[in-house]
């Protein structure tokens, strides 16, 4: 009697199907995990900017002129996943707003985080963006760190 070794085609196909099912479950979870890690860049830089702007206010009794290079509150530079702005209209003697916009080329397009002088944190997810399509939603009262508008 001839003895054969190895796997049949059916056995190999079953293994491939099992691996494909596991990958289909794991990949979305991993992608969300990576996105949540990138969000920390925005939240930590915005919190840092808020502290610097308060220091600027203590020194100058106004927010006007803040967010400029050479001040105690310059905008963060060298950020990879977000760009930071202090809209000029939002910088008054008693108010400020700092905004972090996600960089689309880094997979963060559609994410917009803000903080103001009252420490009001907000998250906006741009309609039609990849973030919105992936199930992320905004929240007007906090910085979203998980899908579904959870803080």
Tokens 């099912």 found at: 21
pLDDT tens digits along 84-121: 999 888 899 999 999 999 999 999 999 999 999 999 99
- For residues 110-133, average pLDDT: 95
Mean pLDDT within 65-91: 91
pLDDT in tens, 24-60: 999 989 999 999 999 999 999 999 999 999 999 999 9
Residue 63's nearest CA partner among 112, 116, 99, 101 is 116
| pLDDT score recorded for residue 148 | 86
pLDDT computed for residue 63 by the predictor: 95
Cα dihedral value 51, 57, 59, 64, nearest 10 = 120
Greater model confidence, 57 or 150: 57
| pLDDT value at residue 1 | 66
Q: What is the DSSP letter of 56?
A: H
pLDDT at position 7 over 80: yes
Average pLDDT, rounded, for the chain: 93
């Amino acid at each position: 009697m001839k003895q054969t070794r190895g796997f049949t085609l059916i056995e190999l196909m079953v293994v491939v199907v099992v691996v494909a099912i596991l990958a289909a479950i794991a990949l979305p979870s991993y992608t969300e995990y990576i996105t949540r890690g990138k969000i920390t860049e925005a939240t930590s830089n915005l919190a840092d900017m808020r502290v610097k702007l308060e220091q600027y206010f203590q020194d100058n009794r106004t927010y006007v002129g803040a967010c400029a290079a050479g001040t105690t509150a310059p905008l963060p530079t060298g950020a990879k996943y977000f760009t930071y702005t202090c809209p000029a209209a939002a910088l008054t003697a008693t108010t400020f707003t700092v905004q972090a916009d996600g960089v689309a080329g880094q997979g963060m397009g559609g994410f917009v985080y803000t903080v103001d002088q009252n420490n009001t944190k907000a998250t906006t997810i741009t309609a039609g963006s990849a973030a919105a399509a992936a199930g992320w939603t905004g929240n007007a009262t906090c910085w979203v760190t998980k899908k579904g508008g959870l803080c």
